[in-house]
């Protein structure tokens, strides 16, 4: 983790690359539909958030890339006529939720050998078994995998209720439908 690097800085850096390639970032624009003509994606319809009601608009481009996930793209944004397998997508796939525990440490994690990076700690490389055990934390057991995220790099100031440093532990558990 780079000190002082948060989601805003990530957006700025990504935006610079997109703009350098001729693209544009449009905040508050929700893609509601991918426009298909002649069997090819040609643009998107968006809802632009303005006040209490949104405004609809269309954007066209030679290349359309969806980063909304496969289920949202195929089941929600593309027209049914564009997908011969649309009825197989009646319900979303099971996802993951995250249980997050923030720790309050009195010592700087760097004194214990941590350097600010994320740690993914698993008992094995058997991903199917880890997936099957993902809800152990909900039953009071740690399960087979955990992630240690050093959020203290972003919030280095001590607080009375959290201790001086606040890394977070993350567990992945069975998700619910959107």
pLDDT tens per residue, the chain (178 residues)?
344 555 667 778 888 888 998 888 888 899 999 999 999 999 999 999 877 778 999 999 998 989 888 888 988 899 988 888 877 777 766 666 767 777 777 777 777 777 777 777 777 788 787 777 777 766 777 666 677 776 544 444 444 444 455 566 666 665 544 4
124 lies in the same domain as 73 = no
70 lies in the same domain as 137 = no
Q: HEC states along the chain?
A: CCCCCCHHHHHHHHHHHHHHCCCCCCCCEEEEEEEEECCEEEEEEEEEEECCEEEEEEEECCCCCCCCCHHHHHHHHCCHHHCCCHHHHCCCCCCEEEEEEECCECCCHHHHCCCCCCEEEECCCCHHHHHHCCCHHHHCCCCCEEEEECHHHCCCCCECCCECECCEEEEEEECCCC
Please indicate, yes or no, if residue 22 is contained in any of the structural domains.
Answer: yes
83 lies in the same domain as 11 = yes
105 lies in the same domain as 74 = no
Place of tokens 């209720």: 161
pLDDT score at 5: 53
Please indicate, yes or no, if residue 116 is contained in any of the structural domains.
Answer: yes
Please indicate, yes or no, if residue 2 is contained in any of the structural domains.
Answer: no
pLDDT score at 42: 96
72 lies in the same domain as 101 = no
In terms of residue numbers, what domain contains 78?
7-89
Please indicate, yes or no, if residue 76 is contained in any of the structural domains.
Answer: yes
Please indicate, yes or no, if residue 141 is contained in any of the structural domains.
Answer: yes
44 lies in the same domain as 107 = no
- The model's pTM is 0.51
Number of domains in the chain: 2
Last residue in a domain, options 89, 118, 134: 89
Strand partners for 173: 97
Last residue in a domain, options 89, 117, 136: 89
pLDDT digits (tens, 9 = 90+) for 78-130: 998 888 887 777 776 666 676 777 777 777 777 777 777 777 777 778 878 77
Last residue in a domain, options 53, 74, 89: 89
């Amino acid at each position: 983790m780079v000190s002082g690097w948060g989601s805003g800085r990530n957006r700025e850096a990504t935006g610079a690359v997109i703009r350098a390639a001729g693209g544009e970032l449009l905040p508050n624009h929700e893609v509601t539909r991918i426009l298909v003509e002649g069997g090819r994606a040609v643009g998107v319809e968006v809802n632009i958030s303005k006040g209490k009601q949104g405004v609809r608009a269309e954007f066209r481009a030679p290349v359309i890339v969806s980063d909304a996930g496969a289920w949202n793209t195929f089941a929600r944004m593309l027209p049914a006529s564009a997908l011969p397998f649309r009825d197989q997508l009646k319900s979303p796939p099971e996802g993951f939720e995250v249980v997050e525990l923030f720790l309050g440490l009195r010592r700087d994690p760097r004194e214990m050998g941590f350097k600010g990076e994320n740690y993914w700690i698993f008992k094995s490389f058997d991903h199917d078994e880890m997936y099957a055990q993902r809800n152990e934390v909900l039953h009071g057991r740690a399960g087979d995998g955990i992630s240690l995220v050093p959020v203290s790099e972003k919030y280095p100031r001590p607080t009375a209720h959290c201790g001086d440093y606040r890394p977070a532990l993350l567990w992945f558990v069975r998700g619910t439908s959107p």
